[in-house]
Structure 1
Amino acid sequence: MADVTRQAVEQIVEALGGKDNISSATHCVTRLRLVLHDDEKVDQEKLESLNLVRGSFSTAGQFQVIIGQGTVEKVYAELLPITGLGEASKDETKQAAQEKQNWLQRGVKMLADIFIPILPAIVTAGLLLGLNNLLVGEGIFFDNQSIIDVYPQWADLADIINLIANAAFTFLPALIGWSAVQRFGGSPLLGIVLGLILVHPDLLNAWAYGDAAEAGEIPVWNLFGLEIEQVGYQGQVLPVLIASFVLAKIENFMKRITPDAIEMLVVAPVALLVTGFLSFILIGPVMFTVGNGITDFFVMMFENFSALGGLLYGLLYAPLVVTGLHHTFLAVDLQLVGSDAIDGTFLWPILALSNIAQGSAAFAIMMATRSENMKGLSFTSGISAWLGVTEPAMFGVNLRYKFPFVCAVIGSAIAATYVSLNNVLAGSIGVGGVPGIFSILPEDWIPFLIGMVIVIIVPFVLTYGYAKLKKQDV
C-alpha cells in the first residue's frame, strides 16, 4: 500500500468530484463513508486506479471508498483539512445520507442500524455453540458417540459452555430492545428492560407454547373480563421491534409534556407500563402470529421446493449485499433460529458459502493478473472473504472486473442448491466464510463441507478460465 501523503489524498478528492462535491465524511474500520452532492461527478475509473484505493461503491445514500484497516484513519485525517469539513460522527453522516434515500432504502437501513450493533454478541454466541457442538455432537470423532459420551467428565464443561452460548439467544429480545429503542430515539436502558419483560421467567416459554396450546394449558391473566395469555417471546424478533418503537415514541412524548422536576418519577414508569400492557394485549399476539407466518412460509418453501429455494437464495445473496438488502434476512435468520418448528436456519449456511465463493474468485484474479498491486489486493481481500468479510473482495476486486463476481454467484448458487437439497442447517449465526462450519449442526457437516469444496473450486476455475480464454486484461 502506498504512503498516505497529502498529494495522494488530494487525488482521491479530485476523483470524487472535488472538495465542493463532498457534503459529509466519516470512516469505519476499512472505508471512507461519504455523502456527496452528486454521485455522477465521481470519476470511478480514476478513483480506483489510485494506489490507496482498493475499490468503491455507492449504497444507502453513501459513497464508500475502500482503503484498508489502519490506512483509512490516516487518509481521513488528511481529508478533513483538504475539504474543509469538520469531523462528522457516523450518525451525522447517516442522517445526511438518509435524505437521499427512498422509503425502501430507509427501511433496510433502519434494520441494519438495529441488528448490526448486536451482531458481535450473536456471532460470539454462534462460535461458542459451535464449540459446544464439537463436544456433544455424535459421530464427529467417535462412531455414534459424542466426546462427552466417551469422556463423561467433560459433560459439565459442555453444559457451562452451552449456557454461556445460549444466553444471547435466550435474551435476544433484550439485545434487540436495547438497539431498537436507541435507534428510535429512546433510552437504551428502557429497551433492555422491555426485552427482559418479554422473556420474564414467570411467563410461559414461547418454545413450549405449541405443546401448551395442544393441551389447553396456556396460563392467562383476567383483566376486567379480557383474557390475556401469559406468554413470553423468546427467540421472537418482530414483537420486540414494534414494542421498542412504541416505547420510544411514548417516552419522547412523555418527556415533552412532563415537568423536569418529576420527569424521573413519571416518564419511564408510564412508558414501560403502557408499552408492557400493549405488548401483551396487542403487539405480542399479532406480531407472534406474523413472525410464525414468515417462518412457516420459508420452512414451507425449503421443504417443498428446496432446490429452487437454495438456487434463488444462492444467486441473489451476493447481489443483495451490493444493494444492502441482505440486512433484511438477518431478522429472518434470527426468527428461524428461535423457532421450535425446525432445529436451525437453512439460510445462513448459504450466506457462509457465498462469502467463500467471493474469496475464491478473488484468489483466481490473484493468479491471473499481471499487476503486482492487484495480486496483493486480491490475496488480502480473498483471505478476508474466507473469514466472513466480503466487501474488499466484492467491491475491490470482483465487481471491478464484473466476471469474477458472476462466477462467484454461479458457484454459490450450485453449492446452495446442494446444501438445500441435503437440508443443511445452522444451529446459530456465527462467522461467515470458512469458520462458518462451526455453526452448522454436526450431522450436516459432511454436506456442508462438500458445499465448501464447490464454492472453492467452481468460482476459481470459472474466473481463472474466463480470464485466460478471453484474455481479459486483469
Structure 2
Amino acid sequence: MNYSQIAKQIVDAIGGKENVSAAAHCATRLRLVLNDEEKVNQAKLDEMDIVKGTFSTGGQYQIILGAGIVNEVYKELSKLTGMGEMSTKEVSSAGSKKMNPLQRFVKMLSDIFVPIIPAIVAGGLLMGINNLLTAQDLFIEGMSLVEANPGMADLAALINTFANAAFVFLPILIGFSATQRFGGNPYLGATLGMLMVHPDLLNGWGYGEALTNGEIPVWNIFGYEIAKIGYQGTVLPVLVASFILAKIETNLRKITPSSLDNLLTPLLSIFITGLLTFTLVGPITRTAGNLLSDGLIWLYDTTGFIGAALFGLAYAPIVITGMHHSFIAVETQLLADIAKTGGSFIFPVAAMSNVAQGAATLAVLLIARDAKVKGVASAAGISALLGITEPAMFGVNLKLRYPFIAAIIGAAAGSGFMSLFHVKAIALGAAGLPGVISIKPGTITFYVLGMLISCAVAFIVTIVLGKRAAKKQG
C-alpha cells in the first residue's frame, strides 16, 4: 500500500492539515481532534477502500483503518501535518476541551474506571467459575460439581478467595486511579483506599446487621464519636474522598515550604482526608450509593419487560454519544454488592445490543451489492457478536440506517425477554457470545435464548427494511 498517498487523501478529506489540532492512533483507529468537523468531506472518506468507517465522539473524529495499517498511515499523516508523535491520552485531553460539562463528567468516570476493568473482569470471571462449580442442578441433577466431587471443594474455596479480592479491596484500586485522574499522588490515593478497608474497621457488609443490633464500634475522641465502619466494595465514598485528597494535596504543595513538602504534605493530606471521610464523606456517600443501587434495582424489577425493552432500544444510541462509559461505575457498584443486587442487569442488555448489531451487519453482508460494504460487514459482524461493535455500528449500520434501526429493535426484543427471567451478570466481560461465563448460573439458558431472539429479530428486520430500501432506489 502507498501509505503516503492514503495519508494525503485523508488529510485532504478532513479539511487539510490546518484543520488538525491533535492526532494519535489506537489499535485500529486514527484519533483526531479537528478545529472544525464541518470541514470534513465525508463522501470522500467513504469512497476510500482503506477506510472501514468513521465516527465522532468525545471531541474526537475517529477513522477506522484496521490493525497494522493505522500505525503506518499515522506515521505519514504526522509528517504531512508537522505534528510529533502524540499519545491517545494527550489527544483525549485535547478533545475534552470541546466537550460540554456532561460529556466531561462521563469522560472523567471512564478515565477512572477503564484502567481497573481488567482487575474487576478477572475477579468477576473467577466468581463465575466458582459458581459453575458450586451451583446445583447446573451439570448434575440435584447436586453441584463440588458435591459430586468433594476433592474439588478446596479448589472452589481457593477460586472464591481469588474472585473476592478485587471487590473487597475495590477502594484501593479506585483510590489509586481516581486520585491520579484528579491530579494527586496515586499512591496516597491507594493509601486512602487502604484506610477505608482496614481490618480494624467493621466489615462494610456487616454494617446493616450491626446497625440493627446497636453494636457499631466507635472512636471516642474528646467525647465525639466516629463510627469505625469499613467501605469494602463501595464506589461513591472513595470517589469523593479521592477528589478531596487530590485537592488538599495540590493546594498544600502550593503553600508548604519545599524543605517540608515531602514531610508535611502527605501527612496532612491523609490525616485531613481520612478524618473527613469517616465523619462526613463516608456516611453521606454510602447512603447515596445505597439509594442509587436500590433505585436501579427497583426500576428494573418494577418496569419489567417494558423497562428492559426500552433500555435495550436506547443502548446503542447511548453508545453513539459515549454516555455508556458512565455505566461502568454503576455496574461496579452492582457487582461489588452482589449479595443484595444479584448482579448487573446492564451487562446482559449491552450483550443483546451488541449481538443485534452483529446480526444486522451480517444481514447486510447477505443483501448488499457493494463489494466494499460486503468486505467491511463480514469482519465487523463477527466482531460485534464477540462484543466489539464499533466497526459494525459505525462502519455499516449507521451509514445505511436501516440495519441500525433493525438492530435496536432486536436489542429491545432480547432485553425484554431476559427481564422476564431476571437474567443478571455476576462479572464484567465481553458483552456478546463469550459473555455466557459472566451470567448468573440458572439463567444462562435464558441469556442464550435472549441472544438468539436479538439476532433473529435484527437479521429478519434488516432483510425486510433492506429490500424496501432497494425498491425505493431502484
How much does 1:67 deviate?
1.4
Check the 8 A contact 1:4/1:52 in 2, yes or no.
no
1:244 aligned partner, one-letter code:
S
Question: Structure 1 residues 133 and 71 mapped into 2: Cα distance closer, same or farther (>3 Å)?
Answer: farther
Number of equivalent positions: 472
Question: Following superposition of structure 1 onto structure 2, how do residues 58-97 of structure 1 map, counting pairs within 5 Å?
Answer: 58-97=56-95
Query: Aligned equivalents of 1:320 and 1:56: distance in 2?
Result: 17
Question: Following superposition of structure 1 onto structure 2, how do residues 141-156 of structure 1 map, counting pairs within 5 Å?
Answer: 141-156=139-154
> 1:140-194, CA deviations, whole angstroms, 9 ceiling, x for partnerless residues?
2111211111111112112212222222122111111111111111111111111
Match of 1:364 in 2: 363
Query: Aligned equivalents of 2:356 and 2:295: distance in 1?
Result: 28
1:201 aligned partner, one-letter code:
P
How much does 1:82 deviate?
1.0
Question: Following superposition of structure 1 onto structure 2, how do residues 73-152 of structure 1 map, counting pairs within 5 Å?
Answer: 73-152=71-150
1:348 aligned partner, one-letter code:
F
CA-based RMSD:
1.6
Aligned-partner SS, 2:443 = helix
How much does 1:46 deviate?
1.6
Match of 1:239 in 2: 237
Please list every run of at least 4 consecutive aligned residues from structure 1 whose deviation after the TM superposition is greater than 6 angstroms: none
Aligned-partner SS, 1:471 = helix
Check the 8 A contact 1:123/1:431 in 2, yes or no.
no
Query: Aligned equivalents of 1:457 and 1:135: distance in 2?
Result: 32
Question: Structure 1 residues 252 and 328 mapped into 2: Cα distance closer, same or farther (>3 Å)?
Answer: same
Q: TM-score, normalised by structure 1?
A: 0.96
Tell me whether 31-40 or 65-74 shows the greater mean CA deviation. Answer: 65-74
Match of 1:42 in 2: 40
* Residue 304 of structure 1, aligned match among 302, 305, 309: 302
Check the 8 A contact 1:4/1:71 in 2, yes or no.
no
Query: Aligned equivalents of 1:462 and 1:380: distance in 2?
Result: 21
Question: Following superposition of structure 1 onto structure 2, how do residues 275-286 of structure 1 map, counting pairs within 5 Å?
Answer: 275-286=273-284
Tell me whether 459-468 or 271-280 shows the greater mean CA deviation. Answer: 459-468
How much does 1:258 deviate?
2.0
Match of 1:352 in 2: 351
> 1:37-93, CA deviations, whole angstroms, 9 ceiling, x for partnerless residues?
100000112212212211111111111111112221111111100111122222322
Match of 1:11 in 2: 9
Pairing 1:319–2:311 present? no
Match of 1:252 in 2: 250
Question: Structure 1 residues 24 and 417 mapped into 2: Cα distance closer, same or farther (>3 Å)?
Answer: same
* Residue 295 of structure 1, aligned match among 293, 296, 303: 293
Tell me whether 309-318 or 92-101 shows the greater mean CA deviation. Answer: 92-101
Aligned-partner SS, 1:143 = coil
Query: Aligned equivalents of 1:129 and 1:362: distance in 2?
Result: 33
2:140 aligned partner, one-letter code:
F
Query: Aligned equivalents of 1:442 and 1:399: distance in 2?
Result: 35
Match of 1:182 in 2: 180
Match of 1:439 in 2: 438
**Structure 1 residue ranges without an equivalent (≥5):** none
Check the 8 A contact 1:122/1:430 in 2, yes or no.
no
How much does 1:227 deviate?
1.8
Check the 8 A contact 1:4/1:75 in 2, yes or no.
no
> 1:447-472, CA deviations, whole angstroms, 9 ceiling, x for partnerless residues?
11110111121111111232134327
Question: Structure 1 residues 338 and 4 mapped into 2: Cα distance closer, same or farther (>3 Å)?
Answer: farther
Pairing 1:405–2:404 present? yes
Match of 2:228 in 1: 230
* Residue 204 of structure 1, aligned match among 198, 202, 205: 202
1:189 aligned partner, one-letter code:
Y
2:460 aligned partner, one-letter code:
V
**Structure 2 residue ranges without an equivalent (≥5):** none
Query: Aligned equivalents of 2:123 and 2:378: distance in 1?
Result: 29
Q: TM-score, normalised by structure 2?
A: 0.96
1:429 aligned partner, one-letter code:
L
How much does 1:423 deviate?
1.0
Identity %: 49
